[in-house]
Amino acid sequence: MAGHGVEVLTERTKIPSDGKTATRLCLRFENLDESEVSLRLSRGGSFDPEAIVREQTFPVENSQVTLTVYAPRRPGSSYLQGEGFRHRIDFIPASFWQGLVYEWVPTLVYALAIALVLRTYAVASFIIPSGSMKDTLLEHDLLIANKLSYKLLGAEPQRGDVMIFKPPHEPKKDYIKRVIGLPGDLVEVSDGTVYINGEPLPEDYIKEPPLENMEPMVVPEGEYFMMGDNRNHSLDSRKWGTVKLNKFEGKALFIFWPPNRIHLLGAPSP
């Protein structure tokens, strides 16, 4: 039943889109007084085998309309529409190659385009190349990072965030470290403790206290001081300086490989 007192009977529910296959339909109306009805096809198909005719008036006999729909040359869905009803007609690929060209290829193109946009602006995977973030991140961990907030929405890193960025000395390479100093902070390392504005920074994530001291320095405006959690085996802002805001690629969200290490960053490791 197509709705509003109209029953649609058809020879086939799926029609090969070869440009010539004809399908007969019968529309049965309830209490129809008119002698003719106007029908139209949307998107595809035709009422004429020689030309594209998608709107036509048909005679009504005994509250019934009989018509023929001719298939288009490309697959897709169309709708037979009239006063008070809408009936879907599916034109399927007439061959493997037609299905490949009109269905699979566009689907793959759309999927690749969406993946590219997501990869560029929304999320990204990242593999840990070294042990500079032990024990928070181990070598060969795979993680997902949120890029959308930082690449498009203008979010600013917060202290303690594990961030992916491009350092000043290697502008084409991705690094991953933890945000320690924010713009305007006074950062100092003394006797195994990091001090921010003269106060010791609580750090339960580091592998071991830093052995080397660092003279106090003020983080420039719009820049961030980064350090690895494995303090004594990390090349970071103590060596190559601070990182500008526009060099951040995203915030690490969770580890998804290997399976025994799957967890949100910030949550306890299993």
Q: Which residues are catalytic?
A: 132, 177
Measured in residues, the chain has a length of 270
Helix/strand/coil (H, E, C) string of the chain? CCECCEEEEECCCEEECCCCCEEEEEEEECCCCCCEEEEEEECCCECCCCCCCCEEEEECECCEEEEEEECCCCCEEEEEEECCEEEEEEEECCCHHHHHHHHHHHHHHHHHHHHHHHHHHHEEEEECCCCCCCCCCCCCCEEEEECHHHHCCCCCCCCCCEEEECCCCCCCCCEEEEEEECCCCEEEEECCEEEECCEECCCCCCCCCCCCCEEEEECCCCEEEEECCCHHHCCCHHHHCCEEHHHEEEEEEEEEECHHHCEEECECCC
Closest CA to 195 of 163, 170, 217, 222: 217
Spatial separation of the C-alpha atoms in residues 101 and 87, rounded to whole Å: 26
